[in-house]
A and B are shown apart, each in its own frame.
Chain A
Amino acid sequence: MKWSALVGLVFAGALMVYGAAELPSFGSATSPPSTHVSPRYLERAWDETRAENQVTAVIVDYRSFDTLFETAVILIAGLATALVLWPDHREREP
């Protein structure tokens, strides 16, 4: 059983290395992420959102729905942690 797992592991690893060889090189201008919507953001962010910082334009304008729930995730994680630590059996420093 252990040996079959090892064989499977090597096979899966070889498959991943084979797949990684086909990935576009880092920062490639012809890769799909660089040719689909990124040029539009870079070229038209100022005209459409009046934000010189294209990162801001993407975060709070083009993808603001995503950021809304990112904020909600922070709130929910914080409230959940606070509930675990809830000081009902504790007190502030005297």
Chain B
Amino acid sequence: MTGVYDSLIVRFAARVQAPLLQLYALYVLFHGHYSPGGGFQAGAALAGSYLMPRVAEGAVAGNRGLTTRGATVLAVCGVLVYGLTGLLSLLLGGTAFLDYSGLANLPWPMPHGPAVRAIGSLTVEIGVAMTVMGVMITLYDDLVARPREGA
């Protein structure tokens, strides 16, 4: 499986397209409030931007930036971000778990009224995107790992 596509064009294209895909994924994530999109879709696109170099250059050479272990930690942190946002909004005076209006009492300036709920929604969407991205990269890396010689 070394050098899956031994082609300069494929490697170069994967390298150039990955940042563009990441930029588009961030657009999908942050624009999910106004158009189709959101955390799940953005997480899939972000994972794609990290998987494209792995597919084009092989699992080790393309493994720049985010290791398998890092991806797993990222997935767990995504659920933590989501849950802690809910807990924080409850502790800061919301009426229920995940009632984002409590986030208005954060120690730094926050918008009041319904606008603060948009910020809470965005935070949990970021958590969702982190989890989807981490799980997809973890699964890909574990699937392409091959048995050790003689094991």
Residues of A within 8 A of B (CB): 47-53, 55-57, 59-61, 64-65, 67-68, 71-72, 74-75, 77-79, 81-82, 85-87, 89-94
Contacts and interface: CB of A to CB of B under 8 A. Distances in A.
7 contacts: A48-B117, A50-B33, A55-B36, A60-B124, A75-B135, A86-B142, A89-B151
B148 A53 contact: no
B131 interface: yes
Contact of B114 (A47, A60, A85, A90): A47
The majority secondary structure among interface residues of chain B is: helix
Contacts of A92: 59-60, 63, 145
Contact of B118 (A51, A85, A86): A51
A81 B136 CA distance: 11
Interface stretch (B11-19, B70-78, B102-110): B70-78
Contacts of B79: 68, 71-72, 75
A44 to B, nearest CB: 10
A78 B53 CA distance: 21
Interface string B130-149: 01101110110011111110
A50 B120 CA distance: 11
B127 interface: yes
B135 A78 contact: yes
Nearest to B61: A93
A9 B142 CA distance: 45
Interface of B: 1-2, 32-39, 58-60, 63, 72, 75-76, 78-79, 82-83, 86, 97-98, 100, 114-115, 117-118, 120-121, 124-125, 127-128, 131-132, 134-136, 138-139, 142-148, 151
Contact of A74 (B58, B83, B124, B132): B132
Q: A49, A87, A93: which has the most chain B beta carbons within 10 Å? A: A93
Given A65-B97, A74-B132, A56 B114 contact: no
A75 B1 contact: no
B128 A71 contact: yes
Contacts of A51: 33-34, 118, 121
